[in-house]
Amino acid sequence: METDNTKKFNKLFYELEHCRKDKQRKKIGEMNEIIDEMNEEEHKFVFKTELYNKMNKMIEKKKMSMENATWMLKHIGYCKVLKDIWNTCFEYSESNSIFEEMIFYENKKKEGKNEKLLIDLCECYLLLNRHASSELIPISVPYLLKAASVKDESEETQKEVEMALLALSCVDQFYDLRQELYLNDTKEIIKYHQEHRNFTKLAYQRAWEFLINRLRYDRSFEDMIVNELHFVGEATRELEELAINDDWNRKKGEEGGIKTKKELILLRWLHTIVAYFCYCHLRNEENVVLIDRISYVFRAANDNHRGIGLWYSYPLINAVENRAVKVDALLKGRAIDAVLERMQRPKLDDEITVECLQFLKNVSNRLEEEEKDEKEEEERKATKRKVFEKMEEEGYEDTITSFHETLKIFNRRYYHGLSLKFSDYLVNV
């Protein structure tokens, strides 16, 4: 897909090896601005294995300094991760294995270790690599945490902090990282920001994403996340600030993709909240406020921003499916109201409706589970009655009956786990 952006970038790239270091840096600055403007198709068109191999040859022949190379590679990786672009070309390039060797070599040095180079190499490696080496991750994490712990609040330093945290958040959630390598430092980084509010919004979100993902294998610090660092309150505040005064009132029918940096950060917070509800099972009263905020933007985004509207349904589904909140909290947080309102719309041929059905199915399943504790059983019955009244009030039974045939299409096309039995979608007291 050749466009003005790809033509300009390729022209500048092939001029690099004929430039002096200072002029080369100026051209890379221009190239980084072009990368900012690239969409996913343009990114994949330009950043192929051949380009990374060419860069490696230029470094070997001293036609590009390592400093300039890492500057450009970090920016490529930054945009790739920020825009959630799936591109594995770097992993199959010569640069990937060269960077691995350099990280191992520099890290083993007893004297004369170049930590700045190590941090740059680790950032490039993690930002551009979907499948980082299990041997390199424990080496990279301490250096990146050190870079993210710098207290200087200058704009340049904060960009470096943001880059380090962005790279850290790329550590696969399936990787079981030893607690002593990350927990204390990450906690201090988050606490320092809470006291000084010095991070960019992206940096703060990524710090949380890195920490929450570690819960997958180690839930021993759940209490710290919930009651000391107050993740729920922080996430609620961030959602409010990102969503406030946003242009939710776009033209009717405009679906719109995720385009602005603000929207991309908002989307990443939703990813992190989904992970929180999956991995953290400590219930907290603040959950009601978070659910209410999610429900509010779910309503607002459904009209005019389908991309964000769809992602706002996932935390609600995970919250009920993983028992992270009581069903009563979903009522108080107006999640059930928001989902039922979505179900009343005449257009049901999209994924959001499927997710709404899954949410309601999970609610129904939860309300059918009898509690052993007598008091909790009474609470369950009372909540069940409220949910039934809410569904009856909204005419939910009629809605499901009206779209029986559509449900078959949903089940076949989107969500194979959905049942076709009406009783699964209704709450019977």
Q: Among 78, 96, 114, give the residue marking a domain's end.
A: 96
Q: For residue 116, is it within any domain?
A: no
Average pLDDT of 347-359? 69
- Say how far apart CA 243 and CA 262 lie, in whole Å: 9
Q: How many CB atoms lie within 10 A of CB 309?
A: 24
> 395: which DSSP letter?
T
Model confidence band, residue 309 (pLDDT cutoffs 50, 70, 90):
confident
Does 235 lie in the same domain as 87?
no
Q: How many CB atoms lie within 10 A of CB 300?
A: 18
Does residue 336 surpass a pLDDT of 90?
A: no
* Nearest to 51, CA basis, from 81, 31, 33, 36: 31
Q: For residue 321, is it within any domain?
A: yes
pLDDT tens-digit series, residues 80-139: 999 999 999 999 999 999 999 999 999 999 899 999 999 999 999 999 998 899 999 999
Q: Among 61, 96, 131, give the residue marking a domain's end.
A: 96
The domain in which residue 409 lies consists of 226-429
Our measurement of the distance from residue 70's CA atom to the centroid of its chain's CA atoms, rounded to an integer in Å, reads: 24
pLDDT tens-digit series, residues 368-398: 887 878 888 898 889 888 887 877 776 665 5
Q: What is the pTM of this model?
A: 0.87
> Domain total for the chain?
2
- DSSP track, 346-381: S---SHHHHHHHHHHHHHHHHHHS--SSHHHHHHHH
Both structure tokens of 215 = 């819960």
Does 88 lie in the same domain as 233?
no
- Say how far apart CA 14 and CA 186 lie, in whole Å: 41
